[in-house]
């Protein structure tokens, strides 16, 4: 599945972005980051997980290095938003994400989070 990961640098920069934004986009290893985020979400199986849990798994990475990968994985239909919301550390609700492979075997209703 490795070929499914990675986002072209031009997709990471706004049309009115600066030259430094463009340069930074070319330095991001989106293949590695998308793969890491996907593998974590996949490892959670039908339970799914929220962003706080994914970010806790990779404390060495910046917030945006993790959270920016969700959109790419959603667009590639590798993960899905279940429609269920669990409270995060802040108390605010976060979407529960699962690998799309598990959508057909999800419990109904989805078991409440940790």
DSSP string over 33-100: HHHHHHHHHHHTGGG-B-HHHHHHH-TTS-HHHHHHHHHHHHHTTSEEEEEEEEE-TTS-EEEEEEEG
**Which domains occur in the chain, in start order?**
2-103 (1.10.10.10)
Q: How close are the terminal C-alpha atoms of the chain, in Å?
A: 29
pLDDT reading at 45 higher than 90: yes
Does the pLDDT value for residue 37 go beyond 80? yes
The structure tokens listed for 24 are: 């930074």
pLDDT value, residue 9: 56
Residue 60 pLDDT? 97
Average pLDDT, stretch 74-78? Answer: 95
Q: How far apart are CA 40 and CA 35, in angstroms?
A: 9
Strand partners, 93: 87
Does 15 score more than 80 pLDDT?
Answer: no
């Amino acid at each position: 599945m490795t070929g499914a990961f990675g986002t072209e640098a031009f997709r990471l920069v706004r049309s009115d972005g600066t030259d430094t934004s463009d340069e930074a986009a070319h330095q991001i290893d989106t293949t590695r980051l998308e793969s890491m985020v996907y593998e974590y979400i996949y490892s959670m199986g039908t339970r799914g997980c929220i962003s706080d849990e994914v970010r806790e798994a990779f404390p060495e990475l910046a917030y945006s290095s993790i959270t920016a990968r969700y959109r790419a994985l959603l667009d590639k239909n590798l993960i899905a938003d279940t429609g269920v919301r669990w409270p995060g550390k802040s108390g605010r609700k976060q979407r529960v994400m699962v690998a799309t492979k598990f959508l057909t075997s999800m419990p109904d209703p989805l078991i409440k989070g940790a």
